[in-house]
């Protein structure tokens, strides 16, 4: 769990949110990332620690900033 690692003092500049599969209770925010409130709370914490949260399915994809996407769909 990345949040736990950061809480232990590991500093990250950027984190790629790869595929997060859909399960009951989650909402799809892209065609390959689904989140629930616990995920969003963890992302908020990481963002508060100045970790850039990006979404890319493969490295060649254009970077999507997760917090901007969540704000647009009113999940933050």
Rounded CA-CA distance 3/53 in Å is: 12
Decide if 30 contacts 68 (C-beta within 8 A): no
pTM value?
A: 0.86
Tokens standing for 62?
């254009």
How large is the average pLDDT for residues 22-43? Answer: 90
Once rounded to an integer, what is the mean pLDDT over residues 30-46?
93
pLDDT given at position 75: 63
Are 32 and 57 within 8 A, CB to CB?
yes
CATH of 2-72, one of 3.40.35.10, 3.30.830.10, 3.40.50.261, 3.40.50.720: 3.40.35.10
- Sketch the domain layout of the chain as residue ranges: 2-72
Instruction: Check residue 24 and report its DSSP letter.
Output: T
- Percent residues over pLDDT 90 in the chain: 66
* Percent above pLDDT 70 for the chain: 97
27: Cβ–Cβ under 8 A, 6 or more apart, which residues? 34, 35, 36, 75
pLDDT for the residue 2 = 94
């Amino acid at each position: 769990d990345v949040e736990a690692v950061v809480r232990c003092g590991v500093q990250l500049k950027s984190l790629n949110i790869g595929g997060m599969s859909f399960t009951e209770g989650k909402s799809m925010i892209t065609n390959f990332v689904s989140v629930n409130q616990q995920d969003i709370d963890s992302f908020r914490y990481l963002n508060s620690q100045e970790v850039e949260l990006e979404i890319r399915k493969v490295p060649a994809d254009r970077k999507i900033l997760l917090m901007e996407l969540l704000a647009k769909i009113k999940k933050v």
